[in-house]
A and B are shown apart, each in its own frame.
Chain A
């Protein structure tokens, strides 16, 4: 480990280093994506307070469970299709 003389002053660090940490381990509830009910509105991506919805070519893919903390905001905001949610929350460990 580095001593105080070797560290950058003020704890200024490289940008985006939170990506390296597995903060998804805090999760008690796990969101499950049901693709057939998804209309690709990307509300989940907009509302996610982390960056746990992966998007490629304008379409969402699987959750980034390394960073998803299971807050459930995406499941609440998800409009789904014909009354059926595309995101549901399930207890971890079940």
Chain B
């Protein structure tokens, strides 16, 4: 087995990138980017990787360079956060539309204004519809493991889509925790060689990327992207199975925690899931049948599997670390869609929490479980969407 080290989430990601040793990285490594690319740049400078590091003048250019390098035939990675992802937005669609398996780390941070770069899922949720696979991570270990698996998922012949691996800004990216690294050769063998499709550098077989496609064919290409997303779900599970063989760590489409006989369920992404699981244990000790579902794969969203896992729940509290002003939070909308087809008709409430890095404490999770229990007992819902941890 590999080394156990205490590292920050950023170090874990940079280390995974060193082991993956991509052909090209293009990045704009200043705020709101994290130290991921700064650390990776030192690996490049010290000859620890063979990567061509392209330093660009904006995140829009970073993603543009990634797209060019990927179309040329390289294995390409980058990392960003917050406004950086927002500035990439136009190019995110180009990467997915051209079916280029670029892999990016997204350290989730808030979007301005007011200016704030703390942990918040608004950046990733804003990129929900960009055609990228999204894997979300509770801690540094999951982020490291997800990034290595993302290479295999994105590059799979049935998929060929870009993928982003999300982890919480500061809470995970800048906090130190102990985790297990795989040996370099295990990662190298696991990801294998990149086999590009139609590389532009194959000058004997010239092709055009990004042609004009008018109404007569545009929808067909979008339908292909949808198909690739449908297939990605199975690929995620296949890759997870293989990953378990080399790492001993097991991954699914989501984590179901004490959910089997749960009447009350919490759905929550990333680091806050850890806090919630502790509180679930406390309530379980007191005989409250509460469980938790932590999605890992958010795009494509595994509606059927999530609905089955939550089919015993009578009241579901969804936690959203991103706002959809005037609407329900993005995670709530997915869970509502999943449960609609399920026929079990649970009561569902949405709680907006943790925006701009607002601490999510065990008492907040307890407050949510108390409210879920009250709804179960009385059948009455005060507000279907509300804030948790905001001052009145």
Contacts and interface: CB of A to CB of B under 8 A. Distances in A.
Contact of B211 (A1, A2, A3, A17): A17
A4 B220 contact: yes
Nearest to A8: B198
- Chain A contact residues, majority secondary structure: loop
Interface string A12-27: 1111110000000000
A14 B198 CA distance: 10
B209 A17 contact: no
A20 to B, nearest CB: 12
- Which range contains the number of A residues in contact with the other chain? 10 to 19
- Chain B contact residues, majority secondary structure: loop
Contact of A4 (B99, B213, B224): B224
B217 A10 contact: no
A13 to B, nearest CB: 5
Interface in B192-250: 197-198, 206-211, 213, 216-217, 219-221, 223-224, 227-228
A3 B220 contact: yes
Contacts of B219: 4
A15 B211 CA distance: 10
- Name, among A1, A10, A11, the residue most crowded by chain B CB atoms within 10 Å (CB to CB): A10
A2 B218 CA distance: 12
- Which range contains the number of B residues in contact with the other chain? 20 to 34
Contacts of B208: 12-17
A10 B220 contact: no
B98 interface: yes
B68 interface: no
B276 to A, nearest CB: 39
Contact of A9 (B99, B206, B217): B99
B11 to A, nearest CB: 34
A1 B220 CA distance: 11
Given A3-B220, A4-B224, A10 B206 contact: no
Contact of B224 (A9, A14, A16): A9
Nearest to B96: A10
Given A4-B221, A4-B227, A7-B217, A13 B99 contact: no
Interface of A: 1-4, 7-17
19 contacts: A3-B220, A4-B227, A7-B217, A7-B220, A7-B221, A7-B224, A8-B198, A10-B97, A10-B99, A10-B100, A11-B98, A12-B98, A12-B99, A12-B197, A12-B208, A15-B206, A15-B207, A15-B208, A17-B211
Interface of B: 97-100, 160, 197-198, 206-211, 213, 216-217, 219-221, 223-224, 227-228
List 10 tightest A-B contacts by C-beta distance, closest first: A10-B99, A15-B206, A4-B220, A4-B223, A10-B98, A9-B99, A13-B208, A12-B198, A12-B207, A11-B221
